[in-house]
Structure 1
Amino acid sequence: MATAVRRMKLGSQGLEVSAQGLGCMGMSVAYGLPKPEPDMIKLIHHAINSGVTFLDTSDGRERVQLATKFGVKLVSGRFDICGDPSYVRAACEASLKRLDIDCIDLYYQHRIDTRVPIEVTMGELRKLVEEGKIKFIGLSEASASTIRRAHAVHPLSAVQLEWSLWTRDVEAEIIPTCRELGIGIVAYSPLGRGFLSSGPQLVGSLLDDDFRKNLPRFQPENLEHNKTMYERVSEMAAKKKCTPSQLALAWVHHQGSDVCPIPGTTKIENLNQNIGALSVKLTLEDIAELESIASADAVKGDRYSSNVTTWKDSDTPPLSSWKAE
């Protein structure tokens, strides 16, 4: 019997989504060559028909909640982060045109521009809400202080961040801030970029242009240590009669009714397995055991290489420093 995907409120502004979303990045970038478009369309249709309606991109507007982002531009082969009001508006207009829609359900600032006061960026986003071009506003990878400042300009419905058994630093400050302000939490990479699904063998299957091949946690000097976590999760999953990925995803679901994980996949069988995680019930003892497995010293290696700028936990200048052009 198929698992029913429940609905949830994301934030306190009225946005309702499926309790599990679908991350679509791997369909076109980052994880190797872009996947065949007909296969990805089939996958998205299958997700929607299965009740997973919270998507990054979609052309099925009546049944889905469309979330997209702005703020990362590719300039001369390098990423540039931009929160300038004119760019915010231009990016929104371009997305509306490409997607052939009149309104974006959830519009995220993908990364925080450390040169532009967050109040300036949010001011333009508020105008876009007032004009009916976007419904709800979100931030991604923002610091607690940035979240507070942004929320004071216009209520945020969601903050997107990396959260999984092997990335838990957000629990110290970001998660409590979101909960204090009534902001929904969208957890990307809830399966540790695939490691909590496949373990060390994942590394050998990655394509040459898959960016994960260069991540510190997948390097030989860290992999031997990190496989211990996977093995312990696998042992516990066997006792719970589920897969390691389902157990890891169930842990994210059990973090609260305000949390929506968005595991990405390009395969229907993996999507079905992810949906099955919604049926995995964890006791308080189970959660405590998983969190002891995923203790602070359980993972070796940073999220990204030292030469990669992540803009994580970024702050912005004070509003008083801004001089509009």
Structure 2
Amino acid sequence: MAGQAIRNDLDRVVIATKFGFKIDESGKIVGLDSSPENIHRVCNASLRRLGVDYIDLFYQHRVDRTVPIEETVEAMAELVQQGKVRYIGLSEASPETIRRAHAVHPISALQSEYSLWERIVEAEILPTLRELGIGFVPYCLLGRGFLTGQAKRAEAFENDYAASSPDFKGITSTKI
């Protein structure tokens, strides 16, 4: 259990995890679910699996357009008030969504794809984060392997965004 491995070092470790996907019995992602009930269920399950008392940073994995961001952040704020979560974050959110969320409860971090290949966050996202004092956590810094020369065809990515990404369609060589 991860929590047992770091139990003596919790003051030096940051535990971050996400919620927001609807997952079927086989473990396949079948949609989004950022309902308050799911947020609380996922948080409690994560705490139990990790064997810890709190999560340092709890992210919404993807914005769920069926649930107003205000309701999502309110449920996340409840977890902060209960001591189960220290800070809350979003992933792949627009400047408008970030502002609406931050008005409900301070957002501590936004996670988005960012690399030499994917720089769309530079235009509006990063200035919004600077203005609001929100941290930025980039992912896929090497373009999902594309910038390493080890790119795979889209079909080779199981349960990954790249499987449906137009950026990986038509790649025929693993040496780009």
TM-score, normalised relative to structure 1: 0.47
Q: Which residue of 2 aligns with 1:167?
A: 118
Q: Are the equivalent residues in 1 in contact too, given 2:144–2:151 (CA < 8 A)? A: no
Within the alignment, does 1:182 sit opposite 2:133 as a pair?
yes
Selected match of 2:55 from 74, 98, 104? 104
Per-residue deviation, 1:175: 1.2
Per-residue deviation, 1:223: 6.8
Q: For residues 56-100 of structure 1, give each alpha carbon's deviation from its aligned partner in whole angstroms, at most 9, with x where no partner exists.
A: x76413321010001112137552211211111111111100100
Selected match of 2:74 from 117, 123, 126? 123
Distance 1:196 1:98, change over 3 A: same
Distance 1:111 1:207, change over 3 A: closer
Selected match of 1:193 from 144, 165, 172? 144
Q: Which residue of 1 aligns with 2:65?
A: 114
- SS of equivalent residue, structure 1 residue 63: coil
Per-residue deviation, 1:113: 1.3
Q: Which residue of 2 aligns with 1:64?
A: 13
Q: For residues 151-197 of structure 1, give each alpha carbon's deviation from its aligned partner in whole angstroms, at most 9, with x where no partner exists.
A: 01111110000000000111111111111101000000011011212
Within the alignment, does 1:87 sit opposite 2:35 as a pair?
no
Q: Which residue of 2 aligns with 1:152?
A: 103
Q: For residues 181-218 of structure 1, give each alpha carbon's deviation from its aligned partner in whole angstroms, at most 9, with x where no partner exists.
A: 01000000011011212x2x5338x9956455664333
Per-residue deviation, 1:125: 1.0
1:248-259 matches, within 5 Å, as none
| Alignment RMSD (CA, Å) | 2.7
- Structure 1 letter corresponding to 2:168: F
Which residues of structure 1 form unaligned runs of 5+?
1-40, 42-56, 228-325
- SS of equivalent residue, structure 1 residue 202: coil
1:134-283 matches, within 5 Å, as 134-197=85-148, 199=149, 201-203=150-152, 208=156, 210=158, 211=160, 212=162, 215-220=165-170, 227=176
CA–CA separation in structure 1 for the residues paired with 2:34 and 2:14:
24
- Structure 1 letter corresponding to 2:138: A
CA–CA separation in structure 1 for the residues paired with 2:18 and 2:163:
25
- SS of equivalent residue, structure 1 residue 93: helix
Distance 1:223 1:144, change over 3 A: farther
Structure with bigger gyration radius: 1
- Count of matched residue positions in the alignment of Structure 1 and Structure 2: 167
- Percent identity between matched residues is 50
Pick 1 or 2: higher relative contact order, CA cutoff 8 A, min separation 6.
1
